[in-house]
């Protein structure tokens, strides 16, 4: 009581007097502390014994206020894992800007908006890839135009020009399950028609095309960095570009609080800089895992490609088998071998026999016994005809936008989607067989797998020296 009295009579701290609250006497309790860390350790699957030992070791540290898992509250920005992830991405891909996002879909949506997709505008997307590419065109209020594929299962450059209209603003080639589209002619067509190129490389991070990383060939590259991709721990995405304006506009969509702007409350520095977006920020926890994952990516892809090429170089050629076209044998992300038997019937026999040999097959995410899709297959989001929300032109607000809004109709836009629009995709998607590879295979594994494939194909097909080469 007395000391309070004395203090309240003292000079104000602002005038050089003693501070009323010089330091906290009670313990500081971090908002996020040991228990949260242990919860993460549990998620990693450590045993109870190990968890107990970890708890004992880490409990001795005083965490002070504790960490923050938000990138923008990180006390020392150089320690932000989000920043570290973006820095690593810039270094590895050799590009000027990298933006981490909460998902590959978030990266794609940001890219679509950045290049100016909106009402009355179209984007050419591949008939095979993933729903998110077309869906984010629609989310940006644009109209996706499906383009057929070639025997790589990626967009066919020869079919792109027929899809171009005065409303086209971009083309979005997808790397399909590690396969890389034939980018040179795609880039040439885009240049000729002043279209932006948004590469969707979600299924092939680290793949190359003629020595250059996919995702850095077009105007913007988008990746999913998630648990079910070859790089990524949980949910995440990445956007790459060398273009300052595209980067700033992508940031504006992905971080509409303006935290990435030099002055977040400043008026727009140019038309199109400032607009309402959303929040696709990657969390610090995801970034912590992904910064490690992305550094493993180049050597992982090299291993996959060595394994793929080793097996392919040992395969015989057959009359009834068309191997997937590989546009760059030194590139791609070779975690899979794929081919198209002449008929679905033949494919089913081959699939069963390969399974019996212990060679892991399957079609996209299907179980191995459904390896060859056929006509009666259940829907699959990797092929245009099953992307129902697009095919049926659904609209959550009953506004008609983007498919039948005035902005589209005034520019002469009319769209109808039908199964059969992309016949090559329809056919190849139903017939393809894929063999998943493991990055740990050694040369003996490669020899055994090649021998198994040759054994099965020789039993059901006719060897043909003039048949299509695998590589």
Ligand X SMILES: Cc1ncc(COP(=O)(O)O)c(C=O)c1O
Q: Which stretch binds ligand X (CB under 6 A): 165-173, 189-197, 198-206, 327-335?
A: 198-206
Q: Which stretch binds ligand X (CB under 6 A): 33-41, 58-66, 102-110, 396-404?
A: 102-110
DSSP letter string, 132-169: HHHHHHHHTT-EEEEE-B-TTSSB-HHHHGGG--TTEE
Nearest distance in Å: CB 394, ligand X = 19
Q: Which is nearer to ligand X, 171 or 350 (CB)?
A: 171
Taking CB under 6 A as the criterion, which residues in 110-149 touch ligand X? 129-130, 132-133
Q: Which is nearer to ligand X, 120 or 232 (CB)?
A: 232
For residue 221, list its beta bridge partners: 199, 240
Nearest distance in Å: CB 136, ligand X = 8
Is the separation of the CB atoms in 3 and 38 below 8 Å? Answer: no
Q: Under the criterion CB under 6 A, does residue 323 sit at the interface with ligand X?
A: no
The rounded distance, in Å, linking the Cα atoms of 101 and 85 is: 11
Pair type for strands 321-323 and 168-171 = unpaired
- Mapped onto helix, strand or coil, the DSSP state of residue 261 is coil
Q: Under the criterion CB under 6 A, does residue 224 sit at the interface with ligand X?
A: yes
Q: Which is nearer to ligand X, 100 or 224 (CB)?
A: 224
Candidates 168, 226, 309, 432; binder of ligand X (CB under 6 A) is: 226
Q: Which stretch binds ligand X (CB under 6 A): 111-119, 200-208, 304-312, 333-341?
A: 200-208
The continuous run of DSSP H or E covering 8 comes out as helix 2-9
Q: Under the criterion CB under 6 A, does residue 200 sit at the interface with ligand X?
A: yes
User: In angstroms, how far is CA 280 from the centroid of its own chain?
Assistant: 14
Q: Which stretch binds ligand X (CB under 6 A): 38-46, 181-189, 196-204, 440-448?
A: 196-204
From residue 156 to residue 175, the character string flagging contacts with ligand X as x (rule: CB under 6 A) and all else as - is ------------------x-
User: How far, CA to CA in Å, does 223 sit from each of 204, 216, 286?
Assistant: 8, 11, 15
Structure letter (DSSP) for residue 23 = S
Nearest distance in Å: CB 378, ligand X = 17
The rounded distance, in Å, linking the Cα atoms of 32 and 88 is: 27
Closest-approach residue to ligand X (CB): 104
CA-based R_g, the chain, Å? 27
The rounded distance, in Å, linking the Cα atoms of 214 and 177 is: 13
The rounded distance, in Å, linking the Cα atoms of 351 and 435 is: 9
The rounded distance, in Å, linking the Cα atoms of 226 and 253 is: 21
Q: Under the criterion CB under 6 A, does residue 215 sit at the interface with ligand X?
A: no
Pair type for strands 143-147 and 168-171 = unpaired
Q: Which is nearer to ligand X, 37 or 381 (CB)?
A: 381
Taking CB under 6 A as the criterion, which residues in 174-193 touch ligand X? 174
Nearest distance in Å: CB 412, ligand X = 29
Nearest distance in Å: CB 364, ligand X = 10
Q: Under the criterion CB under 6 A, does residue 202 sit at the interface with ligand X?
A: yes
Quick one: tokens of 150? Answer: 């070639």
Pair type for strands 212-213 and 208-209 = antiparallel
H-helix segments, 275-422: 284-312, 344-356, 388-391, 406-410
Taking CB under 6 A as the criterion, which residues in 294-313 touch ligand X? none
Nearest distance in Å: CB 447, ligand X = 31
From residue 51 to residue 90, the character string flagging contacts with ligand X as x (rule: CB under 6 A) and all else as - is ----------------------------------------
Q: Which stretch binds ligand X (CB under 6 A): 199-207, 249-257, 262-270, 418-426?
A: 199-207
Nearest distance in Å: CB 164, ligand X = 22
Q: Could you give phi then psi for residue 193, rounded to 5 degrees?
A: -105, 15
Nearest distance in Å: CB 30, ligand X = 31
Nearest to 432 by CA among 352, 339, 358: 339
Nearest distance in Å: CB 144, ligand X = 13
The rounded distance, in Å, linking the Cα atoms of 343 and 459 is: 15
Interface residues toward ligand X, by CB under 6 A: 103-105, 108, 129-130, 132-133, 174, 200, 202-203, 224, 226, 237
């Amino acid at each position: 009581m007395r000391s309070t009295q004395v203090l309240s009579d003292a000079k104000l701290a602002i005038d050089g007097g003693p501070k009323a609250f010089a330091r906290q006497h009670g313990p500081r309790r971090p908002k996020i502390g040991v228990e949260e860390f242990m919860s993460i350790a549990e998620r990693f699957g450590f045993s109870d014994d190990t968890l107990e030992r970890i708890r004992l070791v880490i409990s001795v540290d005083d965490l002070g206020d504790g960490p923050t898992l938000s990138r923008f509250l990180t006390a020392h920005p150089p320690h932000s894992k989000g920043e570290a992830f973006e820095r690593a991405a810039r270094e590895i891909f050799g590009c000027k800007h990298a933006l981490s996002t909460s998902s590959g879909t978030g990266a794609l949506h940001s890219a679509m908006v950045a290049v100016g997709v909106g009402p009355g505008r179209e984007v050419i997307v591949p008939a095979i890839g993933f729903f998110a590419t077309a869906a984010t065109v629609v989310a940006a209020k644009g109209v996706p135009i499906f383009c057929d594929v070639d025997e790589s299962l990626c967009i066919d450059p020869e079919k792109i020009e027929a899809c171009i209209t005065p409303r086209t603003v971009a083309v979005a080639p997808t790397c399909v399950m590690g396969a890389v589209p034939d980018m040179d002619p795609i880039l040439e067509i885009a240049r000729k028609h002043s279209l932006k190129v948004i590469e969707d490389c979600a299924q092939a991070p680290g793949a190359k095309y003629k020595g250059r990383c996919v995702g850095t060939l077009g105007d913007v590259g988008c990746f999913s960095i998630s648990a079910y991709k070859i790089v990524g721990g949980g949910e995440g995405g990445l956007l790459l570009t060398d273009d300052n304006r595209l980067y700033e506009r992508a940031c504006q969509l992905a971080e509409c609080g303006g935290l990435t702007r030099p002055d977040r409350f400043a008026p727009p520095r140019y038309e199109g800089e400032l607009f309402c977006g959303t929040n696709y920020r990657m969390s610090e926890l995801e970034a912590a895992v992904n910064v490690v994952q992305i550094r493993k990516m180049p050597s992982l892809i090299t291993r996959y490609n060595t394994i793929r090429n080793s097996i392919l170089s040992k395969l015989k050629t057959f009359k009834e088998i068309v191997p997937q076209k590989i546009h760059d044998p030194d590139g791609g992300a070779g975690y899979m071998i794929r081919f198209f038997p002449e008929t679905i019937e033949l494919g089913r026999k081959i699939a069963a026999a390969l399974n019996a040999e212990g060679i892991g097959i399957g079609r996209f995410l299907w179980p191995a016994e459904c390896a060859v899709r056929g006509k009666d297959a259940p829907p699959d989001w990797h092929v245009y005809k099953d992307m129902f929300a697009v095919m049926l032109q659904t609209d959550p607000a009953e506004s008609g936008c983007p498919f039948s809004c005035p902005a589209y109709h005034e520019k002469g836009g009319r769209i109808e989607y039908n199964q059969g629009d992309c016949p090559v995709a329809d056919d190849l998607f139903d017939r393809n067989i894929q063999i998943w590879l493991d990055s740990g295979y050694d040369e003996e594994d490669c020899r055994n797998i090649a021998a198994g494939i040759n054994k099965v194909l020789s039993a059901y097909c006719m060897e043909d020296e003039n048949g299509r080469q695998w590589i």
